[in-house]
Structure 1
Amino acid sequence: MESESTYELPSFAVNENGWGPSTLPDDYKDLPYSFFSRDENLGMIMDLTQVSFAQNRGSAESEQGDNAFTTIDVTRTNTNRKTKLIHTKTNRNYNNANYNNTASGANKGRGQQKKNYNSYQRRNYDTLHIPSIPIKPTWKKICQMDFSDLAKLSTKVLPTATTFAECGSYNDYNPQYDLISVKKPVNLESHKECGDLHSISVMKDPFLSQVSDKNVATVYTTDVALAHLMVAIRSQLSWDLEIIKNAHGIFISHRDGVFDTYTVNETSADLPTEEENKDNCLRTEATAINRDFAKQIMAPHLTKCAYPSPFSPAQDEDPAAIHRMYRYRKFQLSDTQSVLVRTEVHGAQQRSGKAELFNAYAVNEWCPRTPLANRWRSKMETSSGYALAEDMKNNNFRLSKWGVQAILAGVDRVKIGFVSRRNMNNLEAGHVILGVQTFSLDAFTKQIMLNEKNMWATLEYVVKEVSKQEDGNYVMLKDPVKGILHLYAVSEEDMTKIDEAESESESEYSEYSSSSYSEYSYSEDEE
């Protein structure tokens, strides 16, 4: 007969002094243990009821349709919950959840987000991260200049200025525009018939061609090219300059047409995404506004200089044209280095029987569809410096270049016009002038915090580096990503290809040469 199976009771610990076991089994010895109190608030492992505001740019998302989803958590979302949004530089695109709040948003949310995503990518990579000119493998890199090093430069003594010649013509200012206010704005008139304003390169300037043969200076350039170089540390986008070194000196020039349009929001954190606010559209708008503003604020009275315009003498006789005085000025950098610059003066204003020269520029409000639209109209009435301070934040490099050009031209005043769209959502509705503010040259440079000693020291440093090189062709390129200036040695063939790639719209100016004009006579009047 088989023996019956037996059942053994497991060991049982009795705690006579309290509740629970009093001994710890060997299996649980040395096992990590996180202490917790029973009165602590325990949270959920995963909360499926909250709205996600993550941008998730660049991540691969499933393209499944709405029918592929199965509802798991049916907890009703608290619609009154207040969610704190952290504003960042790139927090501009709506999340899918924003579009799912309405039936129409559910249908167009994915397409709109894809559109905004592509706009973000194009602005940040196609525009910001692409060199202004393709770098060829045949180019030889000579050196690079870090912005951090350039920012530390300073000259002890500012260079003295000498006026060589004044060419062209200019209008007087219409003082009625000083009466404009936010409550009494004036429509900005279109002056397309005047044509676009062009800055001609150094090699196509007949005056500079003549005087360079006489070796009156060691460096020849224009105010536009020099402005980019002297305040380069404030730039964000890529740009380039052509440099030619030969027996007559160093020629620093820009490619025709590349600096004829103004950048917009280059130093701003708010990047435009709407179709009407793309880079090219905003640049065209800002450039046209400056052209129209510079023409509209002038009175009919015209003053002609001793010499006609070296580029379009017929414009000096045309009352409908935009007139400019081309002022050629020499700056003595050191005992061995001097620079001759072609500058521009926009007009003159009569004060106490004396004509004070000035340059006029316009800053414009293009605010996208946000609750802050038309903020200039509400802020400028109580704070006259609000609009300029905002533009200083968004267009630091552009304002700095205007300050450099005014210093090089030796003007007495700088006039800033404040222009806004008549309808923020409709560019075709036109623009209005909200006000005109006049600064003395010193006040304007202080307002934009322009370090004049640093900008002249930057020029001296670049000229010194180029002077060390052999005669030839060079390209200075601002790095599209980093704060660095690159200097490349370029062959004659590559330089010719660069010139041939320039816009055909500027080809009419290439016909001008020094032989088209009589010999300039000049006298050096030190200021």
Structure 2
Amino acid sequence: MASFKLPQLQPDNDLWGPASGSNALPSELKDIPFAPYAKNDKVGRIADWNNASGASNDAANARGGRQGRARDVQQNFGTSAASSAFAYFHGDDEASFSVVDNTRTAASRRGGLGQMSQRGGRGGRGGAGAAGGRGASKFGAGAGRGARGGRGGARGGRGGGRFGWKEWDKPQRIREASVTVGQDWEQVEEIDFVRLGKLRLEVEEPQDISSYGALFEYDRSYDRVTVKTAQALSSIDRIRYNPTTSDDPIIQEISSKQDAKIYMTDSILALLMCATRSVYSWDIIITKTADGKVFFDKRDGGPFDYLTVNENAADPPLEAPEGKENEAAAKANALNTPSALSLEATYVNQNFGFQIVNEKNVYKLEHENPFYSADETDPLASCAYRYRKFNLSSEESDPVELVVRAEVDAYTIGSSKEKQLITIKSLNEFDARAQGAGGAQDWRSKLDSQRGAVVATEMKNNSFKLARFAVQSLLAGADSMKLGYISRANPKDASRHTILGTSWLKPRELAGQMAVNLSNGWGIVRTIADLARKADEGKYVLLKDPNKQTIRMYRVPANFGEEGEDGAEEDEAMDQDA
């Protein structure tokens, strides 16, 4: 019968183990070899307690052919330098291990960078000028296709000269805020556009309070204007008032007689309702009085008095570069900067409204213009002010009423011989080939034949501006909107313009085509109004972040917005002293 007998271990006082001393273990465990190890330790061979540590390590390193590389020797739990016989060594077969992929891949017709270099191009496209042919342009080397039918290798390949797809590596454009945030400003609230886009509030038709001013009749002859019968845009001197909310005497009178808590103009209200479409920075001054009434005002010199151009384009206009080395480029692009285009668009829109009305036929509203005084010598422009009240209440226990001053530009006689109120707006073309044109087509060649494509491009590039036009017309209760298409007489001259055509638009239909959600707009207005109502008495600024889709509400000093007037008075005093 087979049997197993433990080997005789010789005691050694220099080593640690069961046989290292006579008193280390009881006599019944004296001849049993022992070494502590964990379950996950790898035991490679039977322990030899008499083997020297140096000899075992040298043998292991010599076997693996990796002398002096400590990472190839992994000591296990419970082993020491003296008992390295327990160490596990990686075999040489693991170094040659590799994964084999048997899936088939379609062979590329275009050679890579290395292949094209080895082949020297395809069909004579290679050579020193090609620098690897088409494959090189993939890596942004700017290499050309090489000589093909006599074409030189300096020509850029497909995508050559610009790295990446859709210019993802293009540096992000940094814009400045419409107003500088002061160090003593206190941030009250911050809301991103994602949250604003989820708000909803249904609002009923408004209640008319009063109307002021006089309107001229629209000249129907401009309906027949085309590119071939274009008319020059004239500069007409007329007076048109657009005071802010707090400076309006009619709003002050209404606020003293009614219980409405919120007051603003149609331009401010339309901007808030379309705020999620805005890209450029804007700011609104909010003032809460001691009796809990809130006034939304525009800032003197702020963005409300000017129209933007191609604000929503994928590549909007750029500011002129600074520095002496960029003087030539700045001079060439001075006409097409965002600020210059904004001034031009405002000038064009105002003069277009003055020109296309017939001043002989006047329609007077209930009251005369409240801002015109007898001392004025220049004639008034066609404009009517309608004061209307909207009910923003969501609960009967918390009534919220909003008073708005809306503006109408002219009137026309409808098919039923009734007077219809209209608003007059314009779109302007500066240069279809200039930077910032947003892929717009040449109006002189496409406006008459493909007006739908022209309007669709403008809806994309000027989504925020056109949405505000539609909402302002709806707030004023206008029946129609007259839209003019005005272009420069010369792309290099911003002082002369030509009317290329006009079109009639229904404000509600235009809002539907542009996916303007009025319920969402009223929800935004109610949310901001609630923030102002809950705030303490004082002055606040609602600021759109210039580089993020975020609006912030700050508490500002009581004299904010008055520095410009004080500065102007100081300058006048200094001039007089001089």
TM-score normalised by structure 1 residue count: 0.72
* 1:466 Cα offset (Å): 1.8
* 1:250 Cα offset (Å): 0.9
Asked if structure 2 preserves the Cα contact closer than 8 Å seen for 1:223 and 1:405, the reply is yes
Q: 1:466 and 1:421, CA in 2 relative to 1: closer, same or farther beyond 3 A?
A: same
Structure 1 counterpart of 2:348, one-letter code:
I
Give the SS at the match of 1:202: coil
Give the SS at the match of 2:562: helix
Give the SS at the match of 1:361: strand
User: How many aligned positions are there?
Assistant: 426
Partner of 2:547: 481
Partner of 1:269: 314
Partner of 1:383: 450
Asked if structure 1 preserves the Cα contact closer than 8 Å seen for 2:273 and 2:518, the reply is no
Partner of 2:426: 362
Structure-1 separation of matches of 2:504 and 2:229: 18
Structure-1 separation of matches of 2:566 and 2:457: 33
Give the SS at the match of 1:456: helix
Structure-1 separation of matches of 2:405 and 2:226: 35
- 1:348 aligned to which of 408, 411, 428: 411
* 1:378 Cα offset (Å): 2.5
Asked if structure 1 preserves the Cα contact closer than 8 Å seen for 2:137 and 2:158, the reply is no
Partner of 2:13: none
Asked if structure 1 preserves the Cα contact closer than 8 Å seen for 2:432 and 2:442, the reply is no
TM-superposition CA deviations, 1:479-516 (whole Å, max 9, x none): 11211111112232xxx14322369899xxxxxxxxxx
Structure 2 counterpart of 1:283, one-letter code:
S
Structure-2 separation of matches of 1:315 and 1:185: 38
Matched, 1:415 2:458: no
- 1:208 aligned to which of 251, 254, 274: 251
Structure-2 separation of matches of 1:463 and 1:227: 14
Matched, 1:238 2:273: no
Partner of 1:17: none
Matched, 1:44 2:100: no
Q: 1:375 and 1:31, CA in 2 relative to 1: closer, same or farther beyond 3 A?
A: same
Structure-2 separation of matches of 1:456 and 1:479: 21
Asked if structure 1 preserves the Cα contact closer than 8 Å seen for 2:432 and 2:441, the reply is no
- Listed as ranges, the gaps of 5+ residues in structure 1 are 1-25, 57-72, 94-119, 507-527
Structure-1 separation of matches of 2:166 and 2:182: 34
* 1:238 Cα offset (Å): 1.0
Asked if structure 2 preserves the Cα contact closer than 8 Å seen for 1:387 and 1:418, the reply is no
Matched, 1:227 2:270: yes
Cα RMSD, aligned residues only: 3.7
- Listed as ranges, the gaps of 5+ residues in structure 2 are 1-90, 101-106, 118-129, 319-332, 570-578
1:394-473 equivalent positions in 2, closer than 5 A: 394-428=461-495, 430-473=496-539
Give the SS at the match of 2:406: strand
Structure-2 separation of matches of 1:223 and 1:55: 50
* 1:171 Cα offset (Å): 0.7
Structure-2 separation of matches of 1:307 and 1:337: 28
Q: 1:503 and 1:264, CA in 2 relative to 1: closer, same or farther beyond 3 A?
A: farther
Structure-2 separation of matches of 1:297 and 1:366: 21
Partner of 1:249: 293
Q: 1:43 and 1:207, CA in 2 relative to 1: closer, same or farther beyond 3 A?
A: closer
* 1:317 Cα offset (Å): 8.6
* 1:382 Cα offset (Å): 2.6
Task: Give percent identity, aligned residues only.
Answer: 31
* 1:272 Cα offset (Å): 2.9
Matched, 1:133 2:179: yes
TM-superposition CA deviations, 1:84-130 (whole Å, max 9, x none): 24897769x9xxxxxxxxxxxxxxxxxxxxxxxxxx99xx32xx2x2
Give the SS at the match of 2:200: coil
* 1:367 Cα offset (Å): 2.5
Asked if structure 1 preserves the Cα contact closer than 8 Å seen for 2:187 and 2:553, the reply is yes
Q: 1:471 and 1:186, CA in 2 relative to 1: closer, same or farther beyond 3 A?
A: same
TM-superposition CA deviations, 1:332-359 (whole Å, max 9, x none): 1114100001111101001131000010
Asked if structure 2 preserves the Cα contact closer than 8 Å seen for 1:257 and 1:502, the reply is no
Asked if structure 2 preserves the Cα contact closer than 8 Å seen for 1:153 and 1:457, the reply is yes
* 1:475 Cα offset (Å): 1.0
Asked if structure 1 preserves the Cα contact closer than 8 Å seen for 2:231 and 2:499, the reply is yes
Asked if structure 2 preserves the Cα contact closer than 8 Å seen for 1:256 and 1:502, the reply is no
Q: 1:203 and 1:297, CA in 2 relative to 1: closer, same or farther beyond 3 A?
A: same
Determine which structure has greater relative contact order: mean sequence separation of CA pairs < 8 Å that are 6+ residues apart, divided by chain length: 1
Structure-1 separation of matches of 2:474 and 2:557: 34
